[in-house]
Structure formats: structure tokens, C-alpha cells
Amino acid sequence: MAEPRALENLTVLDLTRVLAGPFCTMMLADMGAKVIKIELPVSGDDTRAYPPFRTNKDGARESLYFANINRNKAGLTLNLKSEEGKQIFRRLAEKADIVVENYRPGVMDRLGLGYDELKKINPRLIYAAVSGFGCYGPYHLRPGYDILAQAMGGMMAITGARGGEPTRAGSALGDILGGLHLAIGILAAVNARSITGRGQRVDVSLMDAVIAATENTAIKYLESGQVPPRMGNRYAAVSPYDGFTCKDGVVIIACGNQKLFAKLCDEILGMPELVTDPRFTDMPGRLEHQDDLKVLIERWLADKTMTEATDILLAHGIPAGPILDISQILADPHVKEREMFVGMEHPTLGPITVNGCAIKLMDTPPSVRTPAPELGQDNDRLLAALGYTQKEIDRLADQGVI
């Protein structure tokens, strides 16, 4: 008998757009939750108009961005400003486990669809929202974007070359961190519901999520009085732990403890005397004199490729690896075996590759099963399940309700 999916008992009404919310519900859907993506009639999720694009089988420009993040979800269109649209949403919410939205706080309340209203019709409902700054606090009504969260959450201030500018992570990291925290909050609320019998509100702010990801930055500052500087690829607590230039790229070498450092000096660099060199005898010394150490390591690397250097270092038990770009990652045998990218057939785009799921549940594995929905593709099925006749459904479409 086939194993069930990990979250197959959960139905999610997904009002989210763009990335933070859709990334969260993508993970839930990959793990088997029944996710109904609810979009505005006609226009749909903003990312349907985001690059990269491909000319689809109908000759139209279609977004791969949307296709990637919204696989495994059903598609329903609904105009929540219309009375009938609200009614349909309420009827769906009666039977759902989770509503997820990433409107600016207050929008759902003004529509009469806020948590206080919805919990009256379904006390077991979990209402999860992710926004730039959360649903309370002085900035809660500010517009939120990934880059603002990276900026105001403190990640940009600590990222970048020594002496260089504050630097944004090269992906929408604030959105990803927000989506991950939201997924944890939703699943924790599912567990809490098994204790209390009731749902609750889950609130995640992108800014909070980025702050959490700066881990010990605050205690470092509070203890030293010094704002931690940007320092390229180095780490304040460990050395050597950096990128080192070799013949064809950059190799990371990470010696987390004294034993590894001794191995590096003795077996790799052939300079056992470094272990007792007063500059390098302990971690504080190595942190202070890491420029000197770098020269010695890069001297050894000068005639070696990333692959050669990594192989030699690993053979001696020293943590090492190349800096890979996405072309190298896609070709990597480890990444392939981990199924971090998955090919699938899309009805209008043809064969596409989408991201895999990084959460490996070994007995109930996440999977990519169905392509991202066409706008409103499941309207008929979902409304028929609520008792609407095809004639009524056609009328709702004509009137712009769906």
C-alpha cells in the first residue's frame, strides 16, 4: 500500500502572491497538503507577469517564475470584493484547516474576511499571515518587500566585502526566510490544535525573519559595543574559514578546531612549524593573523584546480569545497541524487525544470506531482463541490466573481 503524504489531511486556502507566501504553500503542497491557490480573476498572481518567460504552445509569453513556485497547487479565481466571492470564500473556509495570506495587515479585515470573522464560522481554522512587518508594531502598515527586510533586518549591514557596501543576498532571501518561518508556525499551530481543539492566528514578519537569521550578531554587538563589520567571506569566530583563490576559482577551507588546523599545517602545507608559531597557536591568534595564513594557503593552492584542491583536502579530512555557480550545481551528481531539481511536463510550457523540496521525509517523501495551475483551472470542480450548478458557475464567471 502506498504511504500517505505527510500533510494530506490538511486543506489550505492560499491567498498569497509573489514569493514569501507562495514559497511557504509550495512546501506544504510538496508534502501533500491540498493547497487551493486563490487568485484575482483575469490578472492572477503578479508573478504570472514576472520573468523568466517562455513562449508557450499558444504563442503567448508565459512565466516560468510562476510555474516554478506554484506546482502542486489547485487554481481558483475569486473576486473577494464581490459579495458572492466573499460567500464562496467563507464556505471554503468552513471546511479548510488553514488560510494563508500575505496582504498588508488590515486588508482581510476590511473585506470582512479577517481572522475574527473566520474563526466564528470555523474555530479550528489556522489563519497564517506573512507581511513585511507583521500584523502589529509601529511599522505594521508599511509596505513590505524582500529588499526592505534584508535592509532593515540587519543582513545587508553584515554582508559584503571588507570596506565595501552593505550587500543584499543574491536571492529574495527575506521572502524565503519569511516563508520558512511561516511554514513552521502553521505546522506548530496544527500541533497546538491537537491539544486545544482550536486554531489560531500565526503572524510572521519578513523583517523579524531576517533578524532571526542574523543569529549572534546582536550579542556580539552588545558585548563588545562594536557594530560587527562586513568581512567578506570570513567568520568572526573561526579561522581559517574563508575562500582561498586557486588556479580556476575559489576553494573554501574550514578548520573548525585545533586538530584540523594541525592537519592542515602538517599534512597539506607541509609546514608543521606553523602549529607552534606564536601567531597561530590558538583560535584568537589565527583570527588576528588570518591575512598571514591566507598567503601561505594560497601559495599551496596556486597550481591546483578547485577539484584537485578539494579532493586533496577532503582525503586528509579537512572540510573543503568549491564555490559553485548554478550551472555547476545543476550538473552536480550529489544535487541530482538529492533531487533538488525536478523535470516535469507543463501543459502549455512543455518540459520544464522546477526546484525540488529540501525537506526529505524518508517515508512520506515530498514530491512534484502537478504543474502550476492555469488561472482558475479548478473553478468548475471546486464550485461544483460546494453545490453550484454549471449554469451558476458560468454566471459567476460572466459577472467577474470568479
Query: Of 156 and 383, which CB lies nearer to a second copy in the complex structure?
Result: 156
Q: Which residues contact 46 (CB under 8 A, 6 or more apart)?
A: 17, 18
Residue 288: DSSP 8-state: H
Among 200, 239, 290, 379, binds a second copy (CB under 8 A): 200
Contact indicator for 6, 31 with CB cutoff of 8 Å:
yes
Site track for a second copy across 25-64, x = CB under 8 A: --x---x--------------x---xxxxx---------x
Distance CA(318)–CA(14), nearest Å, equals 46
**Segment interacting with a second copy, rule: CB under 8 A, options 226-234, 265-273, 369-377, 393-401:** 226-234
Q: How far is CA 195 from CA 118, 121, 122, 190, 352, in A?
A: 20, 20, 17, 9, 42
What is the footprint of a second copy within residues 365-384 (CB under 8 A)? none
Short-list 3, 17, 26, CA closest to 47: 17
Among 55, 110, 121, 143, binds a second copy (CB under 8 A): 143
Q: Residue 133 half-sphere exposure, CB side, CA atoms within 13 Å? A: 15
Query: Of 33 and 393, which CB lies nearer to a second copy in the complex structure?
Result: 33
**Segment interacting with a second copy, rule: CB under 8 A, options 80-88, 106-114, 168-176, 385-393:** 168-176
State yes or no: residue 307 binds a second copy (CB under 8 A): no
State yes or no: residue 176 binds a second copy (CB under 8 A): yes
What is the footprint of a second copy within residues 337-356 (CB under 8 A)? 337-338, 340-341, 352-355
Which residue among 175, 203, 208, 242 is the active-site one? 175
Contact indicator for 55, 215 with CB cutoff of 8 Å:
no
Examine the residue annotation and report whether 109 is marked as an active-site residue of this protein: no
Q: How far, rounded to the nearest angstrom, does the alpha carbon of residue 223 sit from its chain's CA centroid? A: 31
Among 13, 38, 74, 155, binds a second copy (CB under 8 A): 155
CB atoms within 10 A of CB 113: 22
Contact indicator for 376, 41 with CB cutoff of 8 Å:
yes
State yes or no: residue 153 binds a second copy (CB under 8 A): yes
**Angle at the Cα of 134 from the Cα atoms of 131 and 136, rounded to 5 degrees:** 145
Reduced to 3 states (helix: H, G, I; strand: E, B; else coil), residue 56 is: coil
Among 123, 317, 347, 350, binds a second copy (CB under 8 A): 317
State yes or no: residue 390 binds a second copy (CB under 8 A): no
Query: Of 108 and 176, which CB lies nearer to a second copy in the complex structure?
Result: 176
Site track for a second copy across 89-128, x = CB under 8 A: ----------------------------------------
Contact indicator for 255, 264 with CB cutoff of 8 Å:
yes
Q: How far, rounded to the nearest angstrom, does the alpha carbon of residue 279 sit from its chain's CA centroid? A: 41
Among 76, 187, 265, 382, binds a second copy (CB under 8 A): 187
Among 43, 55, 87, 233, binds a second copy (CB under 8 A): 233
**Segment interacting with a second copy, rule: CB under 8 A, options 72-80, 186-194, 288-296, 388-396:** 186-194
**Segment interacting with a second copy, rule: CB under 8 A, options 74-82, 84-92, 331-339, 372-380:** 331-339
State yes or no: residue 160 binds a second copy (CB under 8 A): yes
Q: How far is CA 63 from CA 145, 209, 355, in A?
A: 20, 28, 15
| Whole-number CA gyration radius for the chain | 25
**Grid cell listed for 95:** 471546511
Minimum Å gap between C-beta 142 and a second copy is: 6
Minimum Å gap between C-beta 193 and a second copy is: 9
Distance CA(196)–CA(393), nearest Å, equals 38
What is the footprint of a second copy within residues 248-277 (CB under 8 A)? 250, 252, 254, 256-257
What is the footprint of a second copy within residues 59-88 (CB under 8 A)? 64-65, 68-69
**Grid cell listed for 63:** 512565466
Q: Scanning the structure block, which residue is given the C-alpha cell 574550514?
A: 254
Count of positions on this chain that bind a second copy (CB under 8 A): 151
Name the helix (H) or strand (E) containing 243. strand 241-245
Distance CA(232)–CA(6), nearest Å, equals 40
**Grid cell listed for 233:** 567571506
Minimum Å gap between C-beta 264 and a second copy is: 13
Among 29, 88, 293, 357, binds a second copy (CB under 8 A): 357
Minimum Å gap between C-beta 353 and a second copy is: 6
Residues labelled catalytic: 175
